[in-house]
Amino acid sequence: MATVRRNIRRPVAAPKAAAVPDRICERALILSGYGINSEMETQAALARAGMDADTVHINDLIAGDRSLADYRLLVFPGGFSYGDDTGAGNAYANRIRNNIWDDLQEFMDGDNLVLGICNGFQILANLGLVPAFDRTYAREIALMPNRGGRLECRFVTLKPANENLWTKGIERIYCPVSHGEGNLSCSPETLKKIKQKKMVAFTYCREDMSPADGEYPYNPNGSVEDIAGITSANGRVLGMMPHPERAMECSNLYDWPLLREQARREGRALPQESLNMQIFRNIVGYFS
Amino acid sequence: MASFVHRIEVHFTKDPRLKTRTDRIRSLGIPVDELHLADVYTIATTARDFTRDELVQVARQLVNPVVQEFTVDEATEALFDEAIEVGFLPGVTDNVGTTARQTIEDFLSMRFGDEEAVCSSQLYFVRGRLAPEMLTRLAGTLANPLVNRIHMKTRQEYGKTGMDRIVPHVELHELPTAGPVDLDLDDAELVTIGKEGILDPKTRQRRGPLALDLAQLHAIRDYFQDLGRMPTDVELESLAQTWSEHCKHTIFASALDDDVPKGLYKTFIQAATNEIREAAGEKDICVSVFSDNSGAIIFDDQYIVTHKVETHNSPSALDPFGGALTGIVGVNRDTIGFGLGAKPCINIYGFCVGDPDAAVPLFRGKDGTNPVLPPRQILDGVVRGVGAGGNCSGIPTPQGFCWFDNRYAGKPLVFAGTVGIMPRERDGQKLFEKKAEPGDLIVMVGGRVGKDGIHGATFSSEALDPKSPVTAVQIGDPITQKKFSDVIVKEARDLGLYRSITDNGAGGLSCSVAEMAKECNGCHVQLDNVPLKYHGMAPWEIWISESQERMTLAVPPENLKTFMDLMERREVEATVIGTFTKSGKCVVECAGIVVMDIELAFLHDGLPKKHLTTTFMKTTNPEPDTPCPDRLDAALLAMMQRKNICSTEFITIQYDHTVQGGHVLGPVQGKGRVQSVASLTTIVPGSKKAVGLSQALFPSYSEIDPYNMAGAGIDTAIRGLVAMGIPPDKIAILDNFCWCSSNDPGRLGQLKRAAQGCYDIAKTFGTPFISGKDSMFNDFSGYDAEGNPVKVSVPPTLLISSIGVHPDAGKAVSLDAKIPGDLVYVVGATREELGGSEYFAQLGSIGNTVPVLDAAAAKERYIRLAGAIAHELVASAFPVSHGGLAVAVAKVAVGGRLGMDLTVPVPDTLRPDYFLFSESLSRFVVTIAPDHKRAFEQALGPDAVLLGRTGGSRLRITGRTLLLDVAIADLEKSYKSPFRGY
């Protein structure tokens, strides 16, 4: 029964958008190739936050035309690498492991950050860069096919589960998921360790911020304990299924026409930028 | 043949999809208990064998050890009653197999040879005792016999050894050569050649339709008689491709009756655009119309946007998944092949299919053989196909529609469109222009050439019948295309490495190379250089094959090394296959022998002109005789459940509509998630401007009044964009005519009237056509279940797609009602216009009075509404379309999960139900803040009629008496019920 819903007031943007920060000199490397497809918006999000990035084809990295050592942030963006064949992210992870594994380990040993979004998270999981309890980088989690058996594209609400460098200052993320395989699964022991070490970064929740409890569509894929993203044990790697980079502007949000109308009635304008940008600002904050 | 064959089987320890998969099969009426699945990789080598240890390591590369297990050369242990393995037939694209092969090559630092392969297949374990006919039905839903092989075993047969090791293998023959074809035959023989193809001298079988008619064959015969030789099979096949209805649009180009000597296209479509552009003067938005692979309009000072909508009907009828997939990735190439290469940034789709719940079985063969796929399976397949194409390519798909009518049961219509973006200039060079120069090398990039898709262009120019060629089916490989798309539009174009580019679509190389050869006046091709999927293809097959994911480029010799290096680094196969010349000829060589040598002038313009005659007869249908009910609550709930009105959100959510980060107004809107008729997407980061897309079609009006059918389509496609706030003068449209039996003067008479409508309406709106496509023979000839011959023709269908540039996305308006207490208006007059309406269909009638458009009044109204939206006076706006005013207000209310109390001005002369469900054009439902009442009414004038307010949780509509009072929740339930479970 649809009843008239109260207008739940909730922040739609940081109360006062931070002044445009100075650009930091640390650079990001965004991987591309073989069907990765979100490099453009990921680069735009970082640029907006104040970090310049180079989009580099994996083959140029393998050929040695570019070096990981020149970068402080490595991003595995969203996409459909190898068409999800042999399991989402698996083939691209193999390509990396079979070609540039040593360089990557060296990068991981430094004070560097790694971000994987959607297909990027799937690649991180297959490489064992998350959860990475130790330097063996064993595969401990799987992003299985969604319970619904197919790709699902819709906006989801996320709640930070722990405060860390990525989630600092974030109360809520509201952005799209768009994946066929985001159903996080692992052994009970692994799950226990992930929780103990406060490695859950974001969980799916309802609009009122209460847990999704596995209920569709709030938890869109059946992920265990509503987990949408986790960090590595040392906290320097974040993998998440939802796409904050696809909703940087308020006008990218599913419900923005309503928010804008509510704002108009109150005689205020809707902020330009959405709260989702905070993840990227936190990265820049880490290096500043 | 491979000497060593191994089999790796992979399954989930606990399959998360098990329940959904099982439920989906059960919903089709097949009573399985459970349907388990294992993925199978069959590895076949000749040069070397793998050790068991190597195979285990290979398997580890292909599984996720956290949740999956595997077997190597052993049967998967499972509890089941029947095992069904579904693999690909020889020569069918196997993307998973290709990825697995690349992974193994990378891992073991080796290369598979020509005769070696990795093949994927899926092994289903069926739990539950099924009757044999149920088992056959199950296999039929899991596999398509045109592309898949099926292998079944009972539990007993499976035993300990499991399934067999099967490697699909294309049979090799000695390399066939080109041969002369004697056309000095009597007319009956010539007709047979045209209809069924060249008689193969070896197999004594016809090679498949050339779709050349007698006059065309005479012209070809005469041309070669003058040359003093017979045409080769390569030349004849090439001419058939280039002259096909699919490529030359002969019906639109031919003179018609006495009053259309220049043909429908020039007289009605092109003329409208030319005259509109001239009248617009400096405000002309067009950049490139009709001449290139897409049409293009101005986006802003720096960028232009392109749009193109294609159909892929015939292949989708045979293989819905493969047909729709190649449809969408094919139209992506029309973007990459526009100018020097635009970047695909938005996909759209449209499906016209039979009613999945009311399917009548059809057969291609007598005696119930060769059944036509049922609408449900076609729908499932085309939905997955467009999804796989867009999702894998990273192109958002925010806009589309489904239209259901059993006249599409014989042949579905599958529309696929792509919008592209490109800078106008780079280093002073216009990127939307291209020209191959003599001496440039002809370079083919992308996939290899196989026997797939042979006779696609000629096949789609013919009606589907029992002899339709199976090689016309192709399966796309979006990742191969994504690889070259990225390197072309993100790297090679901006390095200025090539001078021209076009897509290999219908007709393959024969069309793309010959088309580009016009730019420099000649080409010389070495067919031996074309990379093949397998040996044993005849020259004519290589030349016309429509194997997917290929582009043809003109690369100046000085850039060749840089170009080829770049392609190699991106793992994109690129091959020089010849040179552009200025010889005036298209010359093709194979094994040192010239197999084609035709003047370009004859190839492109030698087609004999036709003069077609048309007739038109107006039919009269009985009007419905149902009296108007006192209350219309039940009628509205029933209308919300009509398949052409209800939610098809199950499609929307399978399609990534947020990638590239430009989502502004998407395919579903509001708390109640109602489907929009238009989408708005930003495509240049940081720009306020956004691209609006909409589509409209009214096939149910066609048989009554094709002229006004066209008017309804154009008006509604434009209106969808205006409702978001796009001014009419920033809108362009595209036409897709999907007709039937276009050799019938009656059908041509309808076509002529529709085209006349297009001209008149577009001119009045001042809205130019920028691109169009037609498909003229959407007919099915076959048999019903009793073996009686039947012909099922689609209703004449005109899809109008609109594209417009929104000046300020931040001011765009969505469809859902937003705030309680807002005022609800209808803008535009309602008349008794229910012929072909959804309401009459609900009553079981067709009627006679379709909506008539007053385009001049509509344009004025649209300018005013777009102005009101720009002035932020509007909270929501939604066009009134199929189902009329009651359905539109119900959708706006459900969208906002907000009730409404409305009083509608039903004239005394009009039945209340007719008033509420009439489909009169040019109307909107608008909600506004009460504070804006005066300003809004001033802006819209008397066109805007206040109906009431939003509030509460029910929709109440009063006319002369209370007409309906329904809970919004019930409306939402009805609206979302028909496709629950899809």
> What CATH number is attached to the domain comprising A264?
3.40.50.880
**What's the pLDDT score for residue B469?**
44
Phi-psi region of B38 (alpha: psi -120 to 50; beta: other; left: phi over 0): beta
Question: What DSSP assignment string belongs to chain A?
Answer: ---PPP-----SS-SSPPPPPPPPS--EEEEE-TTB--HHHHHHHHHHHT--EEEEEHHHHHTTSS-GGG-SEEEE--B-GGGGTTSTTHHHHHHHHTTSHHHHHHHHHSS-EEEEETHHHHHHHHHT-SS-SSTT----EEEEPPTTSS-EEEEEEEEESS--TTTTT-S-EEEEEEES--EEEE-HHHHHHHHHTT-EEEEEE-TTS-B-TT-TTTSSS--GGGEEEEE-TTS-EEEESS-GGG--BGGGSTTHHHHHHHHHHTT-PPPSB-GGGHHHHHHHHHH-
Query: Minimal Cα distance from A269: which residue of B?
Result: B810
Phi, psi (degrees; rounded to nearest 5) at B97:
-60, -40
User: How many structural domains are present in chain A?
Assistant: 1
Alpha carbons within 13 angstroms on the beta-carbon side of residue B95 total 25
**What's the pLDDT score for residue B308?**
97
In a domain, A223, yes or no: yes
Chain B residue numbers with beta carbons less than 8 Å from the beta carbon of A133 are none
Is A81 strand, coil or helix?
Answer: helix
Chain B contact present for A252, CB below 8 A: yes
Indicate the average pLDDT of chain A. Answer: 92
Q: What is the DSSP letter of B266?
A: I
Domain residue spans in chain B?
4-158, 629-646+814-982
One-letter amino acid identity for A234? N
Min CA distance, A253 vs chain B (Å)? 7
**Average pLDDT of A88-111?**
95
What's the rounded Cα separation, in Å, for the pair B64 and A122?
A: 11
**What's the pLDDT score for residue B466?**
42
Query: Minimal Cα distance from B103: which residue of A?
Result: A91
What ipTM was reported for this prediction? 0.92
Q: Using the beta-carbon criterion (under 8 Å), do A254 and B391 form an inter-chain contact?
A: no
Q: Using the beta-carbon criterion (under 8 Å), do A94 and B106 form an inter-chain contact?
A: yes
| pLDDT tens, position by position, A28-63 | 999 999 999 999 999 999 999 999 999 999 999 999
In a domain, A7, yes or no: no
Query: Minimal Cα distance from B9: which residue of A?
Result: A86
One-letter amino acid identity for A172? R
Query: Minimal Cα distance from B683: which residue of A?
Result: A41
In a domain, A272, yes or no: yes
Query: Using an 8 Å Cβ cutoff, are A218 and A224 in contact?
Result: no
Q: Using the beta-carbon criterion (under 8 Å), do B570 and A126 form an inter-chain contact?
A: no
Max Cα–Cα distance, chain B, nearest Å: 87
Q: Using the beta-carbon criterion (under 8 Å), do A247 and B658 form an inter-chain contact?
A: yes
Those of residues 54-83 in A touching chain B at CB distance below 8 A are: 57, 59-60, 63, 78-80, 82-83
| pLDDT tens, position by position, A73-93 | 999 999 999 999 999 999 999
Query: Using an 8 Å Cβ cutoff, are A259 and A55 in contact?
Result: no
Q: How many CB pairs under 8 A join A and B?
A: 221
Which one from A118, A175, A186, A205 is the annotated catalytic residue? A118
Those of residues 162-191 in A touching chain B at CB distance below 8 A are: 176, 178, 180, 183, 185-187
Residue A15 has pLDDT above 60, yes or no: no
User: Which has the closest alpha carbon to B967: B948, B950, B952, B947?
Assistant: B952
Chain B residue numbers with beta carbons less than 8 Å from the beta carbon of A95 are 103, 106
In a domain, A17, yes or no: no
| Fold classification of B4-158 (topology level) | Mth169; Chain: A , (3.30.1280)
Chain A residue numbers with beta carbons less than 8 Å from the beta carbon of B118 are none
**What's the pLDDT score for residue A5?**
41
Q: Which two tokens stand for residue A177?
A: 């998921």
Query: Minimal Cα distance from B21: which residue of A?
Result: A149
In a domain, A65, yes or no: yes
Residue B200, C-beta contacts closer than 8 angstroms, at least 6 positions apart: B206, B207
Min CA distance, B37 vs chain A (Å)? 12
Given B16, B654, B665, which is nearest A222 (Cβ)? Answer: B16
Q: What is the DSSP letter of B231?
A: P
Min CA distance, B445 vs chain A (Å)? 16
Regions of chain B where pLDDT drops below 50: 465-470
Among B571, B663, B682, B970, which would you mutate to test the A interface (most chain A Cβ atoms within 10 Å of its Cβ)? B663
Domain of A257, in residue numbers: 28-287
Residue B425, C-beta contacts closer than 8 angstroms, at least 6 positions apart: B431
What's the rounded Cα separation, in Å, for the pair B938 and B948?
A: 18
Query: Minimal Cα distance from B10: which residue of A?
Result: A86
In a domain, A217, yes or no: yes
Q: Using the beta-carbon criterion (under 8 Å), do A94 and B65 form an inter-chain contact?
A: no
Chain B residue numbers with beta carbons less than 8 Å from the beta carbon of A185 are 16, 66-67
- Strand runs (DSSP E) across B424-454, as ranges? 425-426, 429-430, 441-446
Q: Using the beta-carbon criterion (under 8 Å), do A35 and B685 form an inter-chain contact?
A: no
Those of residues 1-40 in A touching chain B at CB distance below 8 A are: 1-5, 32-38, 40
In a domain, A5, yes or no: no
Q: How far is CA B623 from CA A150, B77, B728, in A?
A: 45, 64, 36
Q: Among the CATH numbers 1.10.10.10, 3.90.650.10, 3.40.366.10, 3.40.605.10, which is that of B629-646+814-982? A: 3.90.650.10
Q: How far is CA A77 from CA A115, A122, B131, in A?
A: 8, 10, 48
